[in-house]
């Protein structure tokens, strides 16, 4: 028997579900309170009678996702989850405990169609878009990790600070291209804002540069943060790394991005991967590239995040040396561009972009 996923029901539907089981209506409210804290199953719902918990377990499940693997980095700051959706698809999300709060990186699609040459997420293609609740469930999994069933000891405090045990920041930077699933991503962000009190300014959407999607965000009008995965300072080089560059030029992408950030007076985030070819020759991490990038961004309100390439076994690239990375940053800074090197998190747990899903999905398809 397929189990009813209670998280996907409206309040009225959940009430009908419990009354059909011969239970009083207030049980629906109890159950939904547990679910809004990420309760993974019914066994933790201590205010429900034991027998009801067992009955529910037979015919229903709580969230849309099930944690099938949990990896903890050795420094204890990063937790990576491999989650299974109701149709068997697998996705990843990552919880990062930082000095400014607890940030969750969520996936927006199962797989990805963008085909970026350096990335693991896209190797098996796109399976499907995630629904609003599937994206939101990832936040709840992280929330449960932070808080467990101890929520009654302290009320959920929105917009938590570093000492708070709640999710405070969201980055839509996991597997998938969010602006190929824009309406569900917007629905998810609105839900995170209303249900969990996470402020617009603590939410970041990262895109490889889908111009109509950026236009949709401009029309939507909420002051979230936008990150552009640029990775090259000119179209010729960008096309070698990212097929999307054949569709939209850097000029088109940046024009839409500046319009978005100018409207909200926000700083634009530029993601810039630093990568070498198979022989170790720098591709986009040369002095010329650093100068060209500086020209492109000069005088603009932006921050460049430099990301040394995270090795992916299936991809024939190399990671530049620490020296090359610092040299690149120095040139940007000398040219008056804000730039920082992205601290690698959870390297020891394969946290790089789709690797966990890839390794586990491959395992499944090899057997079948």
Please tell me the count of residues contacting ligand SAH according to CB under 6 A.
Answer: 18
Report helix, strand or coil for 270.
strand
Both structure tokens of 196: 């969990």
Q: Does 206 bind ligand SAH (CB under 6 A)?
A: yes
Q: What binding mask, one character per residue, do residues 348-367 give for ligand SAH by CB under 6 A, x or -?
A: ----xx--------------
Which residue in 93, 116, 302, 353 is the catalytic one?
Answer: 353
Tokens 């000398």 locate to 334
Q: Does 92 bind ligand SAH (CB under 6 A)?
A: no
Beta carbon of residue 230, minimum distance to ligand SAH (angstroms, whole number):
8
Q: What binding mask, one character per residue, do residues 186-205 give for ligand SAH by CB under 6 A, x or -?
A: --------------------
Q: Which residues contact 176 (CB under 8 A, 6 or more apart)?
A: 107, 108, 109, 110, 111, 112, 121, 126, 129, 130
Q: Does 73 bind ligand SAH (CB under 6 A)?
A: no
Identified binder of ligand SAH from the candidate list 18, 95, 96, 119, rule CB under 6 A: 119
Identified binder of ligand SAH from the candidate list 7, 118, 188, 260, rule CB under 6 A: 118
Please say if 92 is a catalytic residue. Answer: yes
In the complex with ligand SAH, the residue whose CB is nearer, 15 or 177, is 177
Beta carbon of residue 242, minimum distance to ligand SAH (angstroms, whole number):
8
Beta carbon of residue 220, minimum distance to ligand SAH (angstroms, whole number):
18
Residues 24-53: b if buried by 16+ CB within 10 A, e if exposed: eeebbebbbebbbbbbbebebbeebeeebe
Q: Does 271 bind ligand SAH (CB under 6 A)?
A: yes
Q: Does 208 bind ligand SAH (CB under 6 A)?
A: yes
Ranges within 134-173 binding ligand SAH (CB under 6 A): 173
Compute the distance between CA of residue 281 and CA of residue 69 in angstroms, rounded to an integer. 37
Q: Which residues contact 71 (CB under 8 A, 6 or more apart)?
A: 79, 80, 81, 82, 346, 349, 350, 351, 356
In the complex with ligand SAH, the residue whose CB is nearer, 94 or 353, is 353
Q: Does 312 bind ligand SAH (CB under 6 A)?
A: yes
Ranges within 222-241 binding ligand SAH (CB under 6 A): 229
Which residue in 15, 92, 145, 177 is the catalytic one?
Answer: 92
Q: Does 42 bind ligand SAH (CB under 6 A)?
A: no
- CA 215-132-127 angle, 5° bins: 85
Compute the distance between CA of residue 231 and CA of residue 271 in angstroms, rounded to an integer. 7
Identified binder of ligand SAH from the candidate list 79, 103, 207, 329, rule CB under 6 A: 207
Beta carbon of residue 180, minimum distance to ligand SAH (angstroms, whole number):
8
In the complex with ligand SAH, the residue whose CB is nearer, 181 or 294, is 181
In the complex with ligand SAH, the residue whose CB is nearer, 134 or 177, is 177
Both structure tokens of 299: 């005088």
* Cα Rg, the chain, nearest whole Å: 22
Compute the distance between CA of residue 276 and CA of residue 294 in angstroms, rounded to an integer. 20
| Long-range contacts at 134-137 (CB < 8 A, ≥ 24 apart) | 134/64, 134/65, 134/85, 134/91, 135/106, 135/107, 135/108, 135/172, 135/184, 135/185, 135/188, 136/188, 136/191, 136/192, 136/195, 137/7, 137/63, 137/64, 137/65, 137/83
- Which residues are identified as catalytic? 92, 353
Which residues contribute to the site for ligand SAH (CB under 6 A)?
A: 114, 116, 118-119, 173, 177, 206-208, 229, 271, 273, 307, 309-310, 312, 352-353
């Amino acid at each position: 028997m397929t189990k009813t996923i209670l998280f996907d029901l409206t309040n009225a539907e959940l009430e009908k579900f419990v009354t059909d089981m011969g239970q009083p209506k207030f049980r629906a409210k109890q159950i939904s309170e547990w679910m809004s804290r990420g309760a993974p199953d019914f066994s933790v719902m201590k205010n429900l009678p034991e027998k009801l918990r067992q009955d529910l377990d037979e015919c229903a499940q709580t969230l849309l996702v099930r944690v099938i693997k949990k990896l903890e980095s050795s420094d204890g700051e990063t937790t990576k989850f491999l989650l299974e959706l109701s149709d068997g698809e697998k996705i990843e999300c990552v919880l990062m405990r930082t000095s400014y709060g607890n940030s969750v990186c969520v996936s927006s699609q199962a797989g990805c169609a963008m085909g970026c040459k350096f990335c693991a997420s896209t190797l098996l293609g796109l399976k499907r878009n995630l629904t609003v609740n599937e994206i939101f469930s990832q936040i709840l999994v992280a929330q449960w990790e932070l808080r467990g069933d101890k929520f009654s000891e302290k009320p959920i405090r929105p917009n938590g600070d570093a000492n708070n045990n709640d999710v405070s920041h969201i980055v839509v930077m996991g597997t998938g291209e969010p602006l190929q699933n824009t309406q569900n991503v917007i629905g998810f962000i609105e839900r995170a804002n209303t249900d969990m009190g996470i402020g617009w300014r603590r939410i970041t959407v990262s895109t490889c540069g889908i111009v109509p999607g950026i236009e949709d965000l401009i029309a939507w009008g909420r002051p979230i943060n936008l990150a552009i995965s640029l990775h090259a300072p000119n179209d010729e080089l960008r096309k070698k790394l990212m097929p999307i560059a054949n569709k939209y030029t850097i000029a088109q992408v940046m024009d839409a991005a500046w319009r978005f950030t100018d409207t909200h007076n926000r700083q634009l985030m530029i993601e810039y991967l630093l990568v070498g070819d198979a022989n170790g020759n720098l591709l986009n991490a040369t002095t010329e590239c650093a100068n060209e990038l500086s020209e492109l961004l000069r005088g603009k309100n932006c921050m460049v995040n430099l990301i040394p390439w995270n090795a992916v076994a299936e991809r024939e690239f190399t990671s530049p040396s620490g020296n090359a990375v610092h040299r690149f940053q120095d040139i940007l800074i000398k040219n008056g561009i804000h730039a920082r090197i992205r601290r690698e998190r959870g390297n020891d747990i394969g946290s790089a972009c789709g690797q966990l899903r890839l390794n586990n999905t491959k395992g499944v398809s090899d057997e079948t």
